Every structure is written in C-alpha cells, then in structure tokens.
Structure 1
Amino acid sequence: MKRLIPQFLQILEKGLTQANQPIARALWHLRHPTLRGMAWACAAIPALFVVYVLALIPFTPSIGDIRKAKIEQPAQILSADGKLLAEFKPSNREWVKLKDISPNVVNALIATEDHRFYQHFGLDWRRTASAALHTFSGDRQGGSTITQQLARNLYPDEIGRAPTLTRKIKEAITAFKIEALYTKDEILETYLNTVPFLYNAYGIEMAARTYFDKSAGDLNVLESATLTGMLKGNSYYNPVLNPERALQRRNTVLAQMVKYGKLTPAAYTTLARRPLRIDFERQTEPPGPAPHFAQQLRKWLAAWADRNDYNLYSDGLVVRTTIDSRLQAMATQAVTLQGNQLQGIANSAWGTRAGCAGGRDLLQTFLRETPDYRAAKDAGLTDDEALKRVSSDRNLVQAVCESKTRVQADFLAMDPRNGQIKAWVGSRDFSQDPFDHVQQARRQPGSTFKPFVYAAAFEDGAKPSDTFIDKPVEIPLAGGEVWRPSDEDEPSERAISLRDGLAYSRNRITAQLMETVGPNKVARLARAMGVRDSELDPVPSLALGTSPVTLKEMVSAYGTIANLGGYVEPVMVTRIEDRNGEVLAEFAPVAPKQELPAAAARTLVDVMRDVVSRGTGSSIRSRFGVRGDVAGKTGTTQGNADGWFILIQPQLVAGAWVGFNDSRVTLRSDYWGQGAHSALPIVGDFFQRAQRSKLVDSRIRFATDQTPGWFEERSGRLREWFQHLFAAPPAKTEAPVVTRNPARHAPAVTASASESASAFASATDIEPKPLPAQPPLLQAPVPASGVASGVASGTANGSVDGETHGSGEPALAPTPTPDDNAPPDTGEGTARPLVGASASVSTSP
C-alpha cells in the first residue's frame, strides 16, 4: 500500500500537466498575438453580436401584434336601443387624429426629440453613437428616436424598463418592425396619443385639457413647448409642482425649434420672456348613463375575453347589452329626485350643516373610528384627550358628518320573462359613491321578504281566505329564548285572512304562518326563486326579513313571482360582435325553470295586487297614477334603517332601496323612514314615466285566471240551470247602499273566514258597508309626530323580538299631499335580528 500511493500521485501529476497544456498554449498566444489570430477575433465579435440580436427577436412583439396595435380600438358598450353606454379604455385617453393636433406640437416634438425623424428607419445611427460615446465618458445621454419611444410606450412589458443593452436592442428591433408597418404620420399620431402626462392623462388631448383647459388642436407655441418639454421627465418638469424647471425646459424646446428652423429667432426672443401660464384641472372619465352597470359588466366581459382570447381594450369588441337607455334615464332621474328630497330631511334631522348637532353621541362614535383618532391614541393620549383633539378639527367633524348622513338609494328593473336587466342605478351619484349598492350592498329586506312565506304556504295548499287570530305570538327559540313579534297596534283577537295579512303587512299573522310552513322551507324556496348569493338564516324571524340580501337578488326573486313561478337568471348581454359586425357570441334567453308551482304563483300575485290597490303600497295608484295590472310589496327594517319597495308587472319588475351606508344612521322619522315613503316614490316615479312614454304596456295582465276543469265547468252549468229553473220572481227592492271610502281604508278583520273574504272582496274605491260589529283594520289616525311604537319584549339574556311598530308605516301620513290620500303602510314590519339571525349590516365601504 505504501508503494501504491506515490505511484498514484505521480500519475495524477502527469495527467494535470497534460490537461493544462491547451490552456497554457492559449495564454501564450494571447501574450504573443499573430495577425491571423487578431483577424479571427475581430470577426468573432460582430458575429457574436449578430447571434445575440437574432436570439432576442423572438422576445420582441410580433408583426401581428404591431399590426393589431395599428387598429387598436377599445370595446364599445351599447344599449339595447343602440346608444353608447361606455367605452372600456385601458387609461383616461381620447384618441385624436394627427390632422386635429396643432402643428406647433408636431414641430416642437420633432425639433426636440428626433430632428432626423423623416430620414431614418427607426434608429438614428449618428445619434445612437453620440449617445453611447457620451455615456461611456460619464455624461449619460438618451439616443432614442420617436419610433423607439413609441415601441417602449406600446410594449413596456415585452421590451423592459431597465437601462440595459438588452432593452436597447429589443427597443431597436421593435422600432424597425413599427417603421415597416406604419407610415411616419401614423407613428406620430400613435405616439402623441399614447404618451403619459401625469395626473392620469394619457395622450396629447388629455394633456391639453388637463394643463390648459383646451383641445390639442388649439395649443399655441408656448403651450406646445411646455407639454413637449415634459416628455424628458414628467415629474421633474411638472408645471404644476415645478414651474421654474418647466419654464426653463420650455425655453429649451423653443431654442431647439429655432435651431431646426421651426421658429424664428425674433419670435423666440419674444416668447422666451413670457411667464408660464397653465389652467390646471384634473380630467376624469365621464361616468356615462349607466356607470354601475358598466362597472359590473367590465368584470364579466374581462373574464369572457380571457376565455376566448380577445383583448378587451384593443380588439374593437361591440357589446350589445340589455339596458334600455330611455328606462335607464328615467330610473336615474327618479333616484336623483327622491334622493335630493330625502337628503334635505336627513340634513335637518341630523343638523348636518352644524356638524351633526342632532346626534352628538353617535358622532363621537364615528370620530373614534377615524384614522386621526387612532393616531392620537397611538401618540399616548387618553380617550378623552384624543376625542377632544379630533372634535376640535371642524373640517374633520364636518367631513365625517356629511359622509355618514349622505342618503343612498339604488334601483333595478328587469324583464321577468327573459331576465334582461333594463335599468341599473347603483347609487345617487357615481362620482361621489362608486360603490354599487345593487349588487354589493347586503341589507335586511324587512317585509319585502314576506311574500316568500306566503308563497310557501300557498304551495302547501293554503288559501287566501284562510285565517289566523290576531293574538300575541310567542315562538320558543333554541337556548330558551322567545321571539315575540308585534305590530303597531295591540292584538285584536279577531281572525285575519292571509290576503289581508300580506296586504297590510301584519307581523303577527306572518309569524304564525311562518311557524306553520317552517323556516327551512321558506329559506329553500327563497333561494330557488332568486335569493341565491346571500346566506339565509332559517330562523323564525326570517319571515320579517332579518337576513341581509342584495336588491338584485330580491328583484330577481320577484321576477320569478311575476313570471308565475318560472325563475330566469338576470342577464346583461344579448350578443358580442367584432369590429366588423360579425357575431362572436350570442346569448339567447334561457327557458324559465319552474321553482314555484304556477297555481301557487297565481294566488300570490293575486294577493299581492291588494298591497297596491288598498294596502301598504296603495300610493302607487293614488299618488303616481300607475295603471294596469301591478302588484308589489313595501318593506321597512328596524329603526327605519332600510326602506324597500318592489313592484311587479308582466313586462317589468322594478325595485328600490333607500338608506345610508352605515346602518346606524337613519332618517330619524317614523314617516319618511318607511319604505312606502322613501323607496316607493322612486319606483312610482319610474313607472309613471315609463307608462307615459309607452315603454310599458299597461294593458297587459298577469295570467292568473284559473281555467276550470271539466267537472267544475259542468257543475257550474248545472247549478245555473237549477237556479234559473226554480228561481222566484224578482221582488222590487231599493238599490244597495254603497259608500265611497276616500282614504281607501278597507274594513279589515272579520269574525269568520267567509265574512273576511266578503269584507275585503273589493279592491276599488267602492266597497260594501262594513258590518257594525266589525271595526276597520286600520286604526284611528295618529298624530303627525309618528306612531306609538309597540315595544317588543325579549328575554333577559338578549334575545330579540320581531318588529317593533308594524311595518314602520303609520296609519295616516303626517302631512299628506293632495295626491297622497291612500292608506299608508300600517302593517309594514320592521325587522330585528334575533339570536342566531343575521345582523343588519351594510357591506358598503
């Protein structure tokens, strides 16, 4: 072993010596170069460079991409009647033709950025070499042509942003491709329409509006030089924040124009002395007639474009939507009009102009939620000291007060036959509140949820004439708690029919009905009919609408009612075309899915007619004069935090919600806070306008007439024959006495089911005299200050009752207008969550 080790080391040493011989020879040749070796080395350097450039070509934009960019066009969103609703642009930019841009801009641009623009083919070799020499000597300079800058603007991700040799080579390759496909004028036009100018202004048109409040075609020499000077560094030469630098840079541009013959020396001498004058105003994209709808559509369309390999911002898609621009305008007007009126009431109730003087305690809660308060606490101040500091800031207090007390409203209308959305208003003002309350805000629906309870009962075979005794209701809950729903009046101990229970929105009757059909069945039916995204807590108080939902879900579910039990998913788009009009996708109406038996749906529609003919929503007819076959339901939640109303018609279903982003804020009025007076006027105004414009046919009726079967038909004929055969001679009698009830107060409760059906048989102003022993359902008028709220009692451990004062709609309006003599919403329940139920919350930001 000892002899083997030295031999192994000797062999290893010999092998290393032989391996190092080529390296040693190469080093020797480098130290002693020959002419032949130098020639090979010189030839290898450009060859390697060419290989490197060729290797980068696949990583630059393709010819197809550049050709597509030449005809770039954003998606256009059109209404069903052909009106432009929106354009989906990647940035705030308005494209203008080169002929519509001031020649001063073109002259300043070419003189400053690329004076040999018309001589080169994308790369200025002399300027590039000069820039390279200055950069190597420590004085870094840019050598990009206008075409190279355009390449960088169009394809920042493909080319890159780092100042490296690779980026410059990619930039040059792309510039050559652009020059091959674009004319010089097209390059200038594309460049001027894509270059950024700060403040979300892209392109020369938006820059001209932002900094000088004029169009690009009206820019003079000084203004053109100012904007051109910004191209070297938008922030550094920003005329708003750095006017001195911007002035110097402007004069440099003017000097360049003199150098290349675009401006005379005399004109330069005069112009250079003038001050920098700007007229700055940020430019915002116009919201369009349906901004919240467009906002939701953009999300859906972006997903569709990704799946089908289309570019939303450049492929020129034409999207034809279901929105009717005329109905959309009517909906916007109705929301604005009612929202402004309610805002005046809120300002008065809260003392908004005095910093919420009418709600100091709640204001302090709001102030504790501000970043200013948290910063004061982080600084070591006590609660009182921090609150005192933020309360002393009047501007902060006023801003918080105005934000919290700003009334919000939303509206949605759709065709129940095919699910097509016809109008969508997500807030009072998109520019102030872009949050979409139609699809994003979840609020308690209150009594607008009651029709689902009655639908479940009718599905189980209940009849509108079936009765429940109006008595105190106590429903045991899990954990030993008890739910005690109440109405605004005391229990009458009389029988009330289901028809009257829904028409006058009686909470105790609905609660007993819920106990009969079961919360699980009601929740399942509501989901099947359209409330499919929000969670429904299957507890007894669900009958009074304690689980928060969206307006879109509720209108969709009411569409199922209007469609006689057939559910159709809401749709926004009918078809998508390319820029040449070729249809890429068509979305035909989906056949309705029968989620509620047609017989039960017919019965429910018939009962809901009474809501608007003599019940809580009767001002739809008396005040707004809505004609035809309509039905609906009002809704008000606990403390008047939310007001709802949804109206159904065979062609159109429309719903509205009114409230505040923060559910702790209300209108603080037992009159205006009710759905019959806050949300109903929006729907009433809309339907009134739509019917007058003939956009809704008031002659169409719901197909609720039941066709008699063979046995019923023949039995009826036989009965008529016997009555005719054995009828006694008619005696002369006086005409029956009828009374006109100007307030449309129907005699309410009856002692039996047959009497109840008779007493409420008429839905017109003429109705039989009530029996003396049967007092009317609506109680005596209440003072203008409001109604006496029934106090809902609960258990000591915090279980919550149902609704405290009926529907929140008083028996008589405090100050009714001449058109508002209908019986107010006396039975509308206000929903309170109980233990285990969803709380009343707003999902708005």
Structure 2
Amino acid sequence: MQIPIKNRFLKFGTLFFLSFLFAGFLFFLSIYLGAWGKIPNKKELSDFKYQRASEVYSADSVLIGKFYLFDRQPIAYEAIPQHLLQALIAIEDERFYEHKGIDYTSLMRVMVKSIALQDKSSGGGSTISQQLAKNIYPREKSGKLNLAVSKLKEMIIARRMETIYSKEEILTLYLNTVSFGDNTFGIESAALKFFNKTANALTIEESAVLVGMLKATYGYNPRVFPENSLSRRNLVLQSMQQNDFITAKQKDSLTSLPIQLNYKGYDHNEGIAPYFREEVRQQLLSWAKAQKDKGDSYNIYTDGLRVYTTLDYKMQALAEASMADHMKTLQDNFEKSYGKNAPWLKDKRLIKKIIHNSQAYKRLKKNGLSEQEALEQLNLKKEMVLADWGVEKSQLASTVDSLLHYTKFLNTGSLSLDPSSGAVKTWIGGVNFKYYKYDHISQSKRQVGSAFKPIVYTAALEKGISPCTYFSAQEVAYENMEGWSPSNAGSKDETFLNYSMEEALSNSVNTVAVKVLEKTGIDYVIQQAKKMGISSELPALPSLALGTAELTINELAGSYASYLNHGKSVKPFIIQQIANNKDSILEVFNPIVAKKRAFSEENGQIMIEMMKATINSGTASRIRSTYGLKNDMAGKTGTTQNNKDAWFVALTPRLVHITWVGLDNHEIGFRSTRLGQGANAALPMFATWMQKLNADKSFDYITKAKFDAPTSAVQHILNCEPVKRDGFFKRLFKNPNKKKTKNFKS
C-alpha cells in the first residue's frame, strides 16, 4: 500500500525537525562538555578576581595617576547610584529581575526578527548576565559558527553565575568589568574619566550618558561624537521613563540638558606631575621585586595597589604653572639672543654630532646603510608633528629637522621638599614628559656652579676660620695648576677689595671662594660635603670651589636641608605608604635623616645669615626688588662655565627648593651671562611660584614661617665690615691688570 504524499512530507519534515533538534542538542552538548573550549565551573566563577589599576594619591588625597593594563577601579554595590542601575536595566535588560540568566522572551524575539524577518536591527538579546560572561571571558574567534559557540557558552556561564551570585552582585560585577572605551573598564573609572567624579556622585543624565556608551563605546563616546552620545543618552532616558524609573516630566527636563564633560584621562604622558608619577612607578617596581624575593608577589598593573605619596597637589599645580610661564618666556629670549646664528642652525660640527648620536641614524647604520644613504633617509621630508610651547603643529619636515628642533629647547629640573623629613612637595623633572622622558631630578647630574659654595664656606667655619676673615678678590694664576686663573664678573676695581666671607658668599665672588677652599683644604671640604649627604664623587681640584662637581638635584636638596634641620641632611623620598586594594597597609616608608650633625648649631646659624644676605643684597636680591617677596628666606644662585647651567636654591624655614635650567646638549649654553645666570634663568621660576603660595592662605604655614633669631654670639661673630678696601699705598703699587701668581696649597 502506497503512503500518501501528504503523509510522506509530514514524516520527512518530522524526521528533519527531530534530526535538527538532535544535531542541535549534540552541538550544545559538545560545547557544554568543553569540546569547543573549557567552560569555567562554579568554583572558578566564584573565585573570580578583578584586574585592578593601581592608584597613586597625593599627600592631600587627590588621585593623580594610575598604573594599569586595563583602567579599572572596582567599587561596591552600595557605591553605585540607584538611578544608574535603573538606566542600565531599562536599556539593556528590562526583565533582569525576572529571568535566571537567559531571557527566553527576548531570545525568541531576536530569533524571529533576525532569522525569519532578516531584521538586522533586532539586537542581540543578551542579558546583563550574558554580557557579564562576555566581559569576563572575551570572545577569541570570529565567524558565524564561532559566534554561535560563544553565544551558547555565555548562556551556560550566565546560568551558572545566577546560581552563585545574587542579582545585586551580578550588577556590581558587570558594572565593574564592562568597557567604556579609551582603555577604561568599570563605572568608577568611567565616571572619573568623563566627569571627574566618583560613580556615586553621578547625576541621572550623566549616568544615562555612560550607560548609553555600552552599545558602542566608540560610536557613542561623548568626547569623540557628542551628537551621537546625546541622542543615545536621550534614548536611555526614554527607556527609563517607559519602565517607570523616572516621570515623563523628568525625562523631558533631562533630555533638554546638554552633555557637560569634565574629561580627565590618566595618560602617562599627560596630567599633573608626569615625571613624579614615573619615578613612583620605578620605585614601586623595585619594591614589588623586593617583595617577590621575600616570597610575596605583587603586580603593580593588576593588583590594585594604593600608593600614597608625599606630593602636595596644589603646590605642584602652581609650580607647573610657574614653570610653564617662565620657561616659555625664557625660551623666546634664548632663541632671540642667538638669532640666525644659532649653533643648531649654523654649527656644522655640532649638527653632524647631533645626527650621528641619534637613535634614527644608529638604526639605519645598523641596517647596513652608508653614511650618505642614512643622511638621505633622515633628510626626507614628510608630514610630522613638531611641538612648541603650548602648540603642536603638523608640518612638512625631516627627521633631521625634528632632531634640531628639539635640540634647541631649554629644559629644567625643579624640586621642593620638607627639610625636616625629606618629603618631596613638588617635582618637575622637565618641560614636557611627552617629548622629553629624561628626568632632570632622578637621572641627571650637572655641574652645580656657585650652588656648591655654601658647602665650602661651611667647611671653613667648621675648620675654625672666622666669617670675618678677609680674602682679597684679586685674581690669581696658580702655577702648579697649569696657570688656572679663576676670575670674577665684576670690574677691575674689585682687585683692590677684600671681602668678608659673608659678603663674598652673598655676591658669589669666585676668586674668594677658591681662596677659602685653599685655606680650608680640599680634602676637608670633600669630607664636609659627604657629612652633608653628598654621595657623588667630587673632584679633588681647586675648581671644586666653583662648583665643577656634577650632582643630582636630589642630593643637593638633601644637603641644603641640613641648614634647616639642625645640621642633619635628609634623603628626599616620595612614597609614604603602599596599601593593597582593601587599603590594608603593606609598607610604610619612614624619613631617612642623617644620624649625626654635619656642623655645629652655631655654624648652621651663621650660614643661614650669610645666605640671607644673598637674598637681601646679593646675587638673588631681585627676589626682593623685582618680585616683592618679603618672606623669611635664604638662598644661593649658581651659574656654570659658559653659562650652560643656571641654578637657584631657596631656603625658607619649612621648605627647600632647588631649580636648574639648561640644555640637555652640554655643548650649547646661554649666549650671555645676563640671560643665563641663575638669578635670571632659574630664580624667577621659584619667585613666581612663591607669589602664588603667598596668595593662598592654606600655605601660610610655609609662607609666614620665620627663621629663629640668631643668638647674640652669632650676631657678634658676624659684626664686621662686609668689605675692606686696600690702603692707598697698596693700591698705588698693585696693577689691576696683572694677575698674582702662586702655587695652590691643598
């Protein structure tokens, strides 16, 4: 008997459908059993750990930077505002509280629209739980089959998570792991980045902006596409109203508001104190390595460490503003002083050296190119960005043009610290971290010029030489030093003058400094420097008196602190505490203060009085005359040979501040001493900063602090004429144009 055609089709269809279901079941089973890749079990899901960004805080509790692979700062459910949760549920998963990880209603809708009706705008149908699974275990492969595998995996993981975590915990996990673009993960990091506030401080409309980004983090990024973001935000608000989370009146009011960003990225090249943050990173890496050697393991990029530093945020911001203002003006004057004859434009020997020392040239040579071929490559013009003060210009230029462009820029290092502990308050390692990674505080050693003279004079006092001892300013040629003959910047008439030590120091008289060194002894001065915390090797030469020693700003600042810290030097430090992600303290860093005094209390007072004279009437007197600063202050200027380094050291009762200005290329100096002396190139950076501190009452504890009055004994010791002039007959027989010759006695 023949089966009717209708029944045959029914039987075939039934068999096909059952086969399809069976194949689908086998496909699902193969995924479930791990044939397409392991699926985490409940234990693994319950042991989930975030990768957290480590956070760096200033001493006044401002978040100044992060170290991360993914910028993430997890927060608790209680720190997430209710309206943000409502916005998320309204736009992403309306039935979140009704399903167990899979929304079958939404899934059927998507299947009908996508498969039957070919509607590409139907959406993905993924629940928040499924999206969380995707966040934690990102898809690794593309293609339609792999997409199906990934979707089913996410469903399985979502169901498992729903049995482990509460709905509140799932929402918290989701909002702490989801990407907001710009390498930002989690709602707390997103709130800080886009609105510069914590998540619990977000308004309804701000929450709607961030939730709206989740559909397409780039396309709805309010910084990049503000109009798209506004449209998406309003759609989120509409969904909130449709789900009765807000009223129609609220929706209308909120959709009329513009998006007001307060974008604050944590780019390592940008933001406040980039050189300081990099030094923190380096020290943190060293600390983590030391902990590993002890058996503990910490990853500074994923473990969410909290680093509490010594930096004063407001002081740093003011210092950076003063630096930028001063250095821009100084750079203009520097370039104008050279004009068309600038060495980076005209000095062929120097230009060749700059090119040959560049990484670009060395790389081409390593690849087998001849010098001519390498130069041809380096001189090819192309579109590139060249930065100047405040602007970045895209222009047609060659690699050589770029090298010479950046060679001409003056750079700086500026540091201030608490003299009693060494805690760093401000740290400026250079003019622009993006283009000059070299830190002039932690990495650079430069000749310190006359900034070394106070150490020489301190040694003299410790040797028993009275500050009222007089030294002739006459220039001397030292025969046993190959005729070396230090000179002064003053007139020939200075030859007839004899300076007290106070007057010689305050006016930075070179010839006297060498004579003080000679009378004290080079070895004795070097020993004194070591007692004051100088660790670098010092040249055992008469030129040491003029600052030919190369020192770091760090060690110079630590040694000067001894004048304010009862003769005890300090070691500058930048990290106070390191804590874990639960804020449990892992390590506390205590100040490193010298155990022994480097000089007597009396000699310390004498040196402060002598350096006060530098500010009040000596080489740094423009502090008073030009900038009108009346603060209690002592200090010292410094300028090295050929005007290559400009220094200024300022001491207030509660602050040590050191500024250096110069070029990274040691072969280029300032065109003139007038422009390149410490009083002009370095001092203004401190002076304008101090003006800003004076204007802010919160810094009164620094700006209004007073030095202790010198004892009557110290006042008596310093009570002498500052300068004595040679008598008539001595002047009559002394030729101001002729140098005295003698051997230097060390």
Question: Any conservation in 2 of the 1:355–1:398 contact (CA below 8 Å)?
Answer: no
5+ unaligned residues in a row in structure 1: which ranges?
Answer: 1-45, 121-143, 157-162, 164-169, 230-238, 240-280, 717-752, 762-769, 777-789, 795-801, 803-845
Correspondence for 2:571: 569
Correspondence for 2:615: 612
Correspondence for 1:679: 682
The change in CA–CA distance for 1:204 and 1:614 in structure 2 (over 3 A counts) is closer
User: What is the one-letter code of the residue matched to 1:118?
Assistant: I
Question: Any conservation in 2 of the 1:617–1:680 contact (CA below 8 Å)?
Answer: yes
Correspondence for 1:669: 672
Answer yes or no: is 1:400 the counterpart of 2:403.
yes
1:633 partner SS:
strand
Residue in structure 2 matching 1:624, options 619, 622, 627: 627
Question: Any conservation in 2 of the 1:93–1:206 contact (CA below 8 Å)?
Answer: yes
Measure, in 2, the Cα distance between the counterparts of 1:192 and 1:220: 10
Correspondence for 2:326: 338
Question: Any conservation in 2 of the 1:568–1:593 contact (CA below 8 Å)?
Answer: no
Correspondence for 1:118: 102
Residue in structure 1 matching 2:721, options 752, 758, 761: 758
Answer yes or no: is 1:297 the counterpart of 2:280.
yes
2:608 partner SS:
helix
Measure, in 1, the Cα distance between the counterparts of 2:377 and 2:583: 63
Residue in structure 2 matching 1:285, options 264, 267, 273: 267
User: What is the one-letter code of the residue matched to 2:485?
Assistant: R
Measure, in 2, the Cα distance between the counterparts of 1:666 and 1:522: 29
Measure, in 2, the Cα distance between the counterparts of 1:364 and 1:184: 68
2:674 partner SS:
coil
Measure, in 1, the Cα distance between the counterparts of 2:176 and 2:208: 13
Measure, in 2, the Cα distance between the counterparts of 1:310 and 1:364: 46
Measure, in 1, the Cα distance between the counterparts of 2:684 and 2:61: 29
1:215-364 superposed matches below 5 A: 218=209, 285=267, 287-304=270-287, 307=291, 312=300, 317-349=305-337, 356-357=344-345, 359=347, 361-364=349-352
Measure, in 2, the Cα distance between the counterparts of 1:648 and 1:657: 15
User: What is the one-letter code of the residue matched to 1:561?
Assistant: Y
The change in CA–CA distance for 1:655 and 1:190 in structure 2 (over 3 A counts) is same
1:492-531 superposed matches below 5 A: 492=495, 494-531=497-534
Offset at 1:376? Answer: 6.8
The change in CA–CA distance for 1:707 and 1:355 in structure 2 (over 3 A counts) is closer
Question: Any conservation in 2 of the 1:76–1:88 contact (CA below 8 Å)?
Answer: yes
Correspondence for 1:248: none
Measure, in 2, the Cα distance between the counterparts of 1:416 and 1:219: 46
1:100-249 superposed matches below 5 A: 106=92, 118=102, 149-152=134-137, 181-183=164-166, 190=173, 194=177, 218=209
Residue in structure 1 matching 2:706, options 696, 700, 708: 700
Measure, in 2, the Cα distance between the counterparts of 1:315 and 1:380: 45
Offset at 1:227? Answer: 6.2
Measure, in 2, the Cα distance between the counterparts of 1:650 and 1:299: 31
Deviations 1:409-450 (A, max 9, x none): 221111112222211122223334343222222211111111
Correspondence for 1:731: none
Question: Any conservation in 1 of the 2:132–2:177 contact (CA below 8 Å)?
Answer: no
Measure, in 2, the Cα distance between the counterparts of 1:172 and 1:536: 70
Correspondence for 2:246: none
1:340 partner SS:
helix
Answer yes or no: is 1:437 the counterpart of 2:440.
yes
User: What is the one-letter code of the residue matched to 1:594?
Assistant: K
Residue in structure 2 matching 1:80, options 38, 41, 59: 59
Bigger mean CA offset, 622-631 vs 551-560: 622-631
1:517-596 superposed matches below 5 A: 517-532=520-535, 534-575=536-577, 586-587=588-589, 593-596=595-598
Measure, in 2, the Cα distance between the counterparts of 1:145 and 1:340: 54
Measure, in 2, the Cα distance between the counterparts of 1:101 and 1:445: 61
Correspondence for 1:453: 456
Offset at 1:632? Answer: 0.9
Measure, in 1, the Cα distance between the counterparts of 2:376 and 2:304: 57
2:647 partner SS:
strand
Question: Any conservation in 1 of the 2:412–2:431 contact (CA below 8 Å)?
Answer: yes
User: What is the one-letter code of the residue matched to 1:413?
Assistant: S
User: What is the one-letter code of the residue matched to 1:414?
Assistant: L
Question: Any conservation in 2 of the 1:364–1:387 contact (CA below 8 Å)?
Answer: no
Offset at 1:62? Answer: 8.8
So what's the TM-score if we normalise by structure 2? Answer: 0.64
User: What is the one-letter code of the residue matched to 1:647?
Assistant: A
Deviations 1:26-70 (A, max 9, x none): xxxxxxxxxxxxxxxxxxxx9xx99x9xx9999x96955x2x53x
Deviations 1:184-225 (A, max 9, x none): 776577568657899856679999999xxx99954999x877
Residue in structure 1 matching 2:655, options 648, 652, 655: 652
Measure, in 2, the Cα distance between the counterparts of 1:284 and 1:104: 31
Q: Give the greater-gyration-radius structure (CA).
A: 1
Measure, in 2, the Cα distance between the counterparts of 1:486 and 1:374: 42
User: What is the one-letter code of the residue matched to 2:279?
Assistant: Q
Count how many residue pairs are aligned between Structure 1 and Structure 2.
584
User: What is the one-letter code of the residue matched to 2:267?
Assistant: E
1:362-511 superposed matches below 5 A: 362-370=350-358, 373=361, 387=375, 390-391=378-379, 393=381, 395-396=397-398, 397-475=400-478, 481=482, 483-489=484-490, 490=492, 492=495, 494-511=497-514
Offset at 1:336? Answer: 0.9
The change in CA–CA distance for 1:540 and 1:106 in structure 2 (over 3 A counts) is farther
2:673 partner SS:
coil
Offset at 1:558? Answer: 0.9
Measure, in 2, the Cα distance between the counterparts of 1:209 and 1:412: 29
Measure, in 1, the Cα distance between the counterparts of 2:179 and 2:624: 55
Measure, in 2, the Cα distance between the counterparts of 1:402 and 1:485: 35
- Higher share of residues assigned strand: 2
Measure, in 2, the Cα distance between the counterparts of 1:466 and 1:174: 86
Deviations 1:351-381 (A, max 9, x none): 5999954555533432333455557767888
Offset at 1:595? Answer: 3.3
The change in CA–CA distance for 1:555 and 1:522 in structure 2 (over 3 A counts) is same
The change in CA–CA distance for 1:639 and 1:190 in structure 2 (over 3 A counts) is farther
Q: Kindly, what percent of the aligned residue pairs are identical?
A: 29
User: What is the one-letter code of the residue matched to 2:56?
Assistant: I
Measure, in 2, the Cα distance between the counterparts of 1:327 and 1:104: 45
Measure, in 2, the Cα distance between the counterparts of 1:398 and 1:105: 53
Offset at 1:577? Answer: 5.5
1:500 partner SS:
helix
* CA RMSD between the two structures: 5.4
Correspondence for 2:248: none
Measure, in 2, the Cα distance between the counterparts of 1:471 and 1:208: 68
1:16-55 superposed matches below 5 A: none
User: What is the one-letter code of the residue matched to 1:78?
Assistant: Y
Measure, in 2, the Cα distance between the counterparts of 1:615 and 1:666: 24
1:657 partner SS:
strand
User: What is the one-letter code of the residue matched to 1:508?
Assistant: T
